C-alpha cells in the first residue's frame, strides 16, 4: 500500500497546484490513500469550507490542520466532518477530533494530527502523552497508524519520532514549509521525516512575498505578510507499506 502525505497547502496558488498535480502523482505512484495538510489554505491562515471541498475534490482522502486551525471562523461549520481533523492535543472539550479511522483496501488506517509546543505560542496539552494515549486506544482496532506532527522545532519532531518508534507506522512533520532530506525508517520500524514541505508559491519565503518578509528581518518592524504569486511547487512524501507486515518498506520524497 502506498500512502501519500502532501505538504502544507499555501493559499489559492497552493490549491491550484494540488488540483493540477495530485491526480497525476497518485496515478504515477499508484497511491492508495492521500493526506493533505490544509491549515494555510485560506491565503495563509486557516481553511474555508470551499478550500476544504476543493482539497477533497482534488483527490485527498483527509485533511489535517495545525496552528492556524481556527484562522477562519467558518471552520466551526465543518470541523466535525470525518475527513478533517484538528490537533489532538487541544484541550479536552474542544470541537472536532484529533484523529479519524478510514478504510482502504481492506485495511483500517488511523490518521492522527498533533501540534508541537516548542516555538509555537498556543496553549495546548502535551503532544507526546496525548498522542500515545490515542495510539494505545486504537492500536488493536487498526492496521496502520499515521501521525502528522505540526511543529516548529526539528528537535521536537525528532523526539516524537523516537518516542513513537515501533508504536505507529509512520510520522511526518509539517509546519516549516521546507522539505527535509532525512527520510528514514527508525530502529523499531517507524517511517519518519522531519518535514514534508509545502505546496504553494515557489519563489517565496515559505509561501510569502519575499519583500514583506525581508523587511521584517531587516528592520524588526511589523509588516503584513502576503501570499506570493507566480510559479508553484508541489511537495509530498510517499510511504510504501508492506501489505503483510504493515511496516514501511520505502519512503520517497516527491518534488514537482
Indicate if the alpha-carbon torsion angle 171, 10, 211, 219 is positive or negative. negative
61 has a pLDDT exceeding 90: yes
Rounded to whole angstroms, the Cα distance separating 228 from 13 reads 9
Residue 224 pLDDT: 83
What mean pLDDT is predicted for residues 169-179? Answer: 98
Q: C-alpha cell of 60?
A: 485527498
Residue 222 pLDDT: 86
251 has a pLDDT exceeding 90: yes
Residue 43 pLDDT: 85
Strand 144-150 and strand 248-255: the pairing is unpaired
In the chain, domain spans: 2-255
DSSP structural state of residue 143: S
CATH class of this structure's domain 2-255: alpha beta
| pLDDT level of residue 256 (50, 70, 90 thresholds) | confident
What mean pLDDT is predicted for residues 131-137? Answer: 98
- Is residue 100 part of the annotated active site? The answer reads no
| pLDDT level of residue 157 (50, 70, 90 thresholds) | very high
Q: Which of 68, 150, 175, 177 is catalytic?
A: 68
Q: Which residues contact 119 (CB under 8 A, 6 or more apart)?
A: 152, 153
- Please write the tens of the pLDDT for every residue from 68-124: 999 999 999 999 999 999 999 999 999 999 999 999 999 999 999 999 999 998 999
- 161 and 186 in contact (C-beta within 8 Å)? yes
- Please write the tens of the pLDDT for every residue from 10-60: 999 999 999 999 999 999 999 999 999 999 999 889 999 999 999 999 999
247 has a pLDDT exceeding 90: yes
Q: Output the CA torsion 131→135→136→138 (10° steps).
A: 140
Q: C-alpha cell of 32?
A: 492508495
Q: Which residues contact 102 (CB under 8 A, 6 or more apart)?
A: 33, 61, 62, 108, 109, 110, 111
Residue 171 pLDDT: 98
Rounded to whole angstroms, the Cα distance separating 149 from 189 reads 18
- Please write the tens of the pLDDT for every residue from 203-243: 999 999 999 889 989 999 988 888 999 999 999 999 999 99
Amino acid at each position: 500500500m502506498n500512502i501519500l502525505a502532501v505538504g502544507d497547502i499555501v493559499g489559492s496558488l497552493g490549491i491550484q497546484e494540488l488540483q493540477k498535480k495530485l491526480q497525476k502523482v497518485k496515478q504515477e505512484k499508484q497511491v492508495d490513500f492521500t493526506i493533505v495538510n490544509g491549515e494555510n489554505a485560506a491565503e495563509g491562515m486557516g481553511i474555508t469550507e470551499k478550500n476544504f471541498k476543493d482539497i477533497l475534490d482534488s483527490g485527498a482522502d483527509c485533511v489535517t490542520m495545525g496552528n492556524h486551525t481556527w484562522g477562519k471562523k467558518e471552520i466551526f461549520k465543518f470541523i466535525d466532518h470525518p475527513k478533517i481533523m484538528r490537533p489532538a492535543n487541544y484541550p479536552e472539550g474542544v470541537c472536532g477530533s484529533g484523529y479519524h479511522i478510514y478504510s482502504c483496501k481492506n485495511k483500517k488506517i488511523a490518521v492522527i494530527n498533533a501540534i508541537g509546543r516548542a516555538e509555537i505560542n498556543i496553549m495546548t496539552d502535551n503532544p507526546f502523552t496525548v498522542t500515545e494515549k490515542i495510539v494505545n486506544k486504537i492500536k488493536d482496532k487498526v492496521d496502520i497508524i499515521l501521525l502528522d506532527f505540526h511543529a516548529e522545532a526539528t528537535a521536537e519532531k525528532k523526539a516524537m519520532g523516537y518516542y513513537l518508534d515501533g508504536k505507529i507506522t509512520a510520522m511526518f512533520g509539517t509546519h516549516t514549509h521546507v522539505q527535509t532530506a532525512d527520510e528514514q525508517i527508525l530502529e523499531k520500524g517507524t517511517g519518519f521525516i522531519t518535514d514534508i514541505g509545502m505546496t504553494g508559491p515557489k519563489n517565496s519565503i515559505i509561501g510569502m512575498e519575499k519583500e514583506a518578509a525581508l523587511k521584517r528581518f531587516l528592520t524588526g518592524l511589523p509588516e503584513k505578510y502576503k501570499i506570493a504569486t507566480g510559479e508553484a511547487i508541489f511537495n509530498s512524501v510517499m510511504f510504501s507499506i508492506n501489505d503483510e507486515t504493515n511496516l514501511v518498506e520505502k519512503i520517497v520524497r516527491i518534488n514537482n
